[in-house]
Amino acid sequence: MTTATQNRIKALLVGGPTLYFEYAGLALITDPTFDEPGDYPGGVTLHKLTGPAVTPAELGPVDIVLLSHDQHADNLDHSGRDFLTTVGTVLSTPDAAARIPGVTALPNWTTVAHALPDGGSVDITGVPALHGPPGCESVTGVVTGFVLRATGHPTVYVSGDNASVDIVGAIAQRIGRIDIAVLHVGAANPGRFGDTDVTLNARTALQAAELLGEAVIVPVHAEGWAHFSETLDRLELIFGYGGQRERLQVLEKGHVKPIG
């Protein structure tokens, strides 16, 4: 049986999708973005509005990067790419592994075991994600989410840039109990699909939360870029109307907080 302390993780929001957290003695980070504000031209120009709350040097050594995808600068910017070279284990999509040396492919429902300092191991499973409406992959590319499980520690789900409530439901049904769910929210909309968002909005995030049982919901990727169309204030409002506000644990950038 786990204790209250074991059911928690320590987390620090660097900014955007970049979440540093400690799990079972390991240091992990999601979608590293450490650039200062600037513009990123491409099929759609992305505009970064705020820089990171902390630098990689201030974070210290990281054991594992969970990279939902590599093709968009708001999930992997220039400094983030440099950062990947400093980390021993980087898990991402097969496409990202083909493009970036040192990245390990983690196809959907594939699990890798990573050794823990106490001699045990954590299982990290790649899970589906959809970065827009059905059929969007030819435009947005393939993305992935992750589930972490270790004996005596919480099960953690990291959604990546997923907009599909149905996919969240399928993950919850297959995985079972999820204790902490890190959801990419903010209703990201760079205009590729008209008014259709490419990440969860407040309404769909609430629907996803309802499918995740009693999981604590940690919203990320809702600030720092111009293409986010909803605020965390709206997310809190909608969760409150839905009777789920107490499940939200909103992080303040640059501050360590126990989650769980």
What 3-state class would DSSP assign to 144?
strand
Q: What is the CATH number of the domain that holds 251?
A: 3.60.15.10
Q: At what angle do helices 202-211 and 165-175 cross, to 10 degrees?
A: 20
Is the CB of residue 125 less than 8 Å from the CB of residue 146? yes
| Residue 181, burial from CB neighbour count under 10 angstroms (0-12, 13-18, 19+) | buried
Find the mean pLDDT for residues 116-140.
93
On the question of pLDDT at 172 being above 60, the answer is: yes
C-alpha 232/C-alpha 236 separation (Å) is 6
Contact (Cβ atoms closer than 8 angstroms) between residue 165 and residue 211: yes
The pLDDT of residue 51 is: 97
Domain limits for position 112: 9-259
> What is the pLDDT at residue 3?
43
149 occurs within a structural domain? yes
What is the DSSP secondary-structure string of 15-79? ETTEEEEEETTEEEEES---PPSEEE-SSS-EEE-S--SS-HHHH---SEEE-S-SSSTTTS-HH
Residue 1 in domain: no
Contact (CB, 8 A) for 108 and 125: no
Which residues are bridge partners to 91 per DSSP? 66, 104
> For residue range 83-116, what is the model confidence (pLDDT) as tens digits?
999 999 999 999 999 999 999 999 999 999 999 9
Number of domains in the chain: 1
User: Is 2 domain-assigned?
Assistant: no
| Within a domain: 83 | yes
Give tens-digit pLDDT for 3-18: 444 678 999 999 999 9
2: confidence class by pLDDT, cuts 50, 70, 90: very low
The predicted model gives 71-82 an average pLDDT of 96
In a domain, 60, yes or no: yes
User: How do beta strands 89-92 and 216-220 pair?
Assistant: unpaired
Residue 4 falls inside a structural domain: no
CA 169 to chain centre: 17
Q: Percentage of residues in the chain with pLDDT exceeding 90? A: 88
Mean pLDDT lowest for which of 6-10, 47-51, 126-130, 229-233?
Answer: 6-10
Compute CA distances 109 → 19, 126, 163, 171, 184, whole Å.
Answer: 23, 5, 19, 10, 20
- On average, the pLDDT of the chain sits at 95
In a domain, 40, yes or no: yes
Q: pTM of this prediction?
A: 0.95
Q: How confident is residue 27, by pLDDT bands cut at 50, 70 and 90?
A: very high
Q: Is residue 94 part of a domain?
A: yes
Q: What is the rounded average pLDDT of the residues 183-203? A: 92
